[in-house]
Amino acid sequence: MIKMGKWISRRKFLRSGVVLTMLTTVMIVSLLHSHGLVGGPGDEGRVAGRMKHLPEKGLRTGVREDDGLEDAPGNDVDVGHRRVPRRRSRGGGRGRGGGVAAGGGGIGGGGVVMGMQRKLEQQESPAYSVGGDAGERGEEHIPQKGMDYSNSEERKRIAEDDAERILALRRQEDDEDEGYPGYYDLTERRELEERMEKKRERVRKRKKQFGNIVPQDHGDDAKQMKREEIKPKKSKGAQPMKYQADVELPGANGKPVQIPSELQSEADDLFIINSFNLMASDMIGINRSLPDVRPKQCLYKQYSSALPNTSVIIVFHNEAWSALLRTVHSVINRTPRQYLSEIILVDDASIHAHLGHQLDSYVAKLPVPVHVERMGVRSGLIRARMRGALVAQGQVLTFLDSHCEASHGWLEPLLARIAEDRSNVVTPVIDVINAQNLAYEADNQTPAIGVFDWSLTFRWQSIQRRDLPLLKHDPTHPIPSPTMAGGLFAIDRSYFIETGMYDSGFEIWGAENLEISFKTWMCGGRIEILPCSHVGHIFRKHAPYSNTLTDFISYNNKRLAEVWLDGYKEFFYFMYPSAIKVNAGNYTDRVELRDRLGCRSFQWYLENVFPEGGWPGRNKLYGEVRHTATNWCLDTGGRTTPITEPMVAHRCDNNVNQIWMYTEEQEIKHSSLCLDYDVTTMTLTLMGCHQMGGNQLWDYVSETGEIKNRARDCLDLEVDDDDDSFTLTVQECDGRTSQRSWQLNMKEWDFKKHSR
């Protein structure tokens, strides 16, 4: 016994009273056998390793004393695929296995038979117990039907069975602590261990790949693992002031306004005043409700509470009362008060009575500071904005037109981006407010970016292909834009002043947006469009006022070209020779400003900011596309926007509409528009360049005079009925003269001659 105890200690099997009790029982039985009190060794009562010979039900076992459980509902163990309640034994010792042995001393109590109870379904027998006072201190043991308990070998088998079941149940409890189900069949246990190990291996691999993950709860057959989902919470940052939206009035939630038929004639007459539906505007409330049109990811963005504040500057001239007030109220209603320093209204010499004292009285009652600055004489948008910037107190200047509607969460993204870098000049996504019915038409597609053409006119264009992955990965990512529209943007106030604001020599409006775009990019800043900021704008086809300076656009464009285009101004003059004769005044102060700021060259701008533009560059040829058999040339017809009508050719006359660029991507382009093949009509159209090849790819074969598309069909001419023009088509190449008479009279731009 002593040697056995030492052996147990060395092997570290002394874990519980249950194990010792089992060993004690086996030794006692062996001692009885040696004295002839039990059957011989040949008896078939020996049950080494019988794990499946379980009684069908009624097995009771003890639990650890510190569990504090006694017949508690749900505290069952699963034995042989059936539920068995855990109970505290009524007898025995107080050790870890306490209560499992009946009778006397020793660790866990010392009877011959452990304190276990067996009940059989088919027999009711008097209690059977071994050891003194077993009925009082141990568990009752009911013999199985048909067994002869007078045989001592039967007693031995029962004792060994009970000991083995106790060990299995103890293992089962440990397994449950480890997360295993309560099965203790050896085969099932091995299978279960294999499944659990595979499960752990999957978890380790997924952790290595994805970080912190959790398994889905699918029991033993759990096969799916997923990333631990942390649901983002909507931002609860600074909130705008509460207001009562005009949800019952026409146009609520940005819907179009329907003019009654009997009032349509009057509405048409009023349209001329402001170049939009004035009657519809007056029907809409000044607190119109709008849908939240931001990408859903924007709702979860968190912004610092320490963002800079802003002065919102709105210039107006004879603006409609309802449109102006709706602009002001949309800013107040959807801007957190802590970020709104003031609103500055700059009146550029309006003559409408309601924009005088009536406006002063109205804005004096508003819940935020609103100041009205009045220009003594008509000065134009550019000078009026500079007046507002000079009197503003906010850290950031936010410029809006006077017929806008700020949308939900419009300001915070602008301020946050400027707070990151004061040289960021940012604009919202500009949604369309329909001039006919005042519907708020959100731009739910990928936002367009600002570009410009050879006439130095601002254009919208699809986002550049190289920037598409940014938005695919994160729809809220700022979008770099070569230029901006100029009507709506935010800029750090000190940065705006340090970089020379606008050119004070500009007249009225025009080119100021391109000047600030070139200056920002070339002098170290960035122009960006922020998808999480949306502002609606009424786009008018015509300005509702006249100007005394009839050619102010050409005047401004020439000043822009002379200061910022370097040698590329010669290409501008080549395309628009009429600009050469325009007197642009003195602009030496702007040239000196550029030198003082240490700005880069315009060539750098074209190569790094706007390489997709249709300006001369390396591997870009410019000139005419001539059909030598007829001496007719490919002609845009004066179109500057995409068209679906078939392209035509006109007599070659060296005008700007017949100047094309042939790029290394094999595009034939005019400014930012490319020659495109319509497969349904087999004709050519002029569409926005997408840099994707496809129907905009043209291979010029100089040896044969052919221009072939991707399908290797040939460009051809068809004579129109009036013989004044030819329609361009694409036909199967067959060697006819009309297909083999094309010539690209083009050359590369001389960089040495035109560099700064």
User: Residue 565 belongs to a domain with what CATH number?
Assistant: 1.10.8.460
Residues 649 and 734 in one domain: yes
Q: How far apart are CA 196 and CA 175, in angstroms?
A: 12
Residue 136 counted as domain residue: no
- On the question of pLDDT at 438 being above 70, the answer is yes
Q: How far apart are CA 91 and CA 614, in angstroms?
A: 97
DSSP 8-state code for residue 276? S
Residue 596: exposed, middle, or buried by beta-carbon count in 10 A (0-12, 13-18, 19+)?
exposed
Residues 648 and 670 in one domain: yes
Tokens at 292, concatenated: 């939240």
- On the question of pLDDT at 177 being above 50, the answer is no
* Least confident interval from 13-22, 221-230, 535-544, 668-677: 221-230
What values do phi and psi take at 745, rounded to 5? -85, 80
pLDDT at 317: 94
Residues 428 and 311 in one domain: yes
347-405 pLDDT per residue, tens: 999 999 999 999 999 999 999 999 999 998 999 999 999 999 999 999 999 999 999 99
Read off the pLDDT of each residue in 119-139 and give the average, rounded to a whole number.
38
In DSSP notation, 331-397 reads HHHTSBGGGEEEEEEEE-S---GGGTHHHHHHHTTSSS-EEEEE-SS---HHHHHHHHHHH--SSEE
Closest CA to 98 of 8, 16, 5: 16
- On the question of pLDDT at 324 being above 90, the answer is yes
Residue 372: exposed, middle, or buried by beta-carbon count in 10 A (0-12, 13-18, 19+)?
middle
- Is the distance from CB of 465 to CB of 690 less than 8 angstroms? yes
Say which amino acid occupies 17: G
Give the residue from 546, 569, 589 where a domain finishes. 546
User: Exposure pattern of 686-698 as b/e (b: 16+ CB <10 Å)?
Assistant: bbbbbbeeebbbb
pLDDT at 547: 57
Read off the pLDDT of each residue in 103-129 and give the average, rounded to a whole number.
39
Residues 332 and 398 in one domain: yes
Query: How many residues in total does the chain contain?
Result: 756
Residues 597 and 644 in one domain: no
Residue 458 counted as domain residue: yes
Residues 743 and 643 in one domain: yes
What values do phi and psi take at 101, rounded to 5? -115, 140
Please provide the average confidence, as pLDDT, over all residues in the chain.
76
Local confidence band at 142 (pLDDT 50, 70, 90 cut-offs) = very low
* Least confident interval from 109-123, 161-175, 386-400: 109-123
Question: Looking at per-residue confidence, does 608 or 446 come out higher?
Answer: 608
- Is the distance from CB of 96 to CB of 17 less than 8 angstroms? yes
What values do phi and psi take at 395, rounded to 5? -75, -30
The residues pairing with 660 across neighbouring beta strands, listed in sequence order, are: 623
Query: What distance lies between CA 61 and its chain's CA centroid?
Result: 58
- On the question of pLDDT at 124 being above 60, the answer is no
Residues 603 and 674 in one domain: no
258-301 pLDDT per residue, tens: 999 999 999 999 999 999 999 999 999 899 999 999 999 999 99
Residues 576 and 492 in one domain: no
- Its domain, for residue 585, covers 560-609
229-267 pLDDT per residue, tens: 334 455 555 666 565 666 678 999 999 999 999 999 999
722-746 pLDDT per residue, tens: 556 687 888 899 988 889 999 998 8
Q: How many structural domains is the chain composed of? A: 3
pLDDT at 171: 57
Local confidence band at 32 (pLDDT 50, 70, 90 cut-offs) = low
- Is the distance from CB of 672 to CB of 459 less than 8 angstroms? yes
Residues 629 and 674 in one domain: yes
- Is the distance from CB of 334 to CB of 366 less than 8 angstroms? no
pLDDT at 371: 97
pLDDT at 454: 83
517-561 pLDDT per residue, tens: 999 999 999 999 999 999 999 998 766 665 555 578 889 999 999
Q: How far apart are CA 699 and CA 706, in angstroms?
A: 8
Read off the pLDDT of each residue in 88-116 and give the average, rounded to a whole number.
39
Q: What phi-psi label fits residue 547: left (phi over 0), alpha (psi between -120 and 50 degrees) or beta?
A: beta
Maximum Cα–Cα distance across the chain: 133
pLDDT at 236: 54
Read off the pLDDT of each residue in 109-126 and give the average, rounded to a whole number.
39
Q: Within 13 Å of residue 111, how many CA atoms lie on the same side as its CB?
A: 31
Residue 399 counted as domain residue: yes
Q: What is the pTM of this model?
A: 0.65
- On the question of pLDDT at 102 being above 50, the answer is no
Read off the pLDDT of each residue in 412-437 and give the average, rounded to a whole number.
96
Question: Which of 3-7, 246-250, 483-487, 655-659 reaches the highest mean pLDDT?
Answer: 483-487
- On the question of pLDDT at 111 being above 50, the answer is no
pLDDT at 132: 41
Q: How far apart are CA 128 and CA 62, in angstroms?
A: 19
Q: How far apart are CA 541 and CA 543, in angstroms?
A: 7
Question: Looking at per-residue confidence, does 127 or 560 come out higher?
Answer: 560
What values do phi and psi take at 42, rounded to 5? -80, -5
pLDDT at 165: 60
pLDDT at 636: 87
pLDDT at 642: 78
Residues 384 and 533 in one domain: yes
Three-state DSSP state, 339? helix
Q: How far apart are CA 195 and CA 720, in angstroms?
A: 79
As a whole number of Å, the CA-based R_g of the chain is 44
Report the CATH number that the domain containing residue 542 is assigned in CATH: 3.90.550.10
Residues 672 and 579 in one domain: no
Residue 673 counted as domain residue: yes
Residues 605 and 673 in one domain: no
Q: How far is CA 580 from CA 514, 561, 562, 573, 575, in A?
A: 19, 11, 11, 6, 11
Residue 659 counted as domain residue: yes
Residue 77 counted as domain residue: no
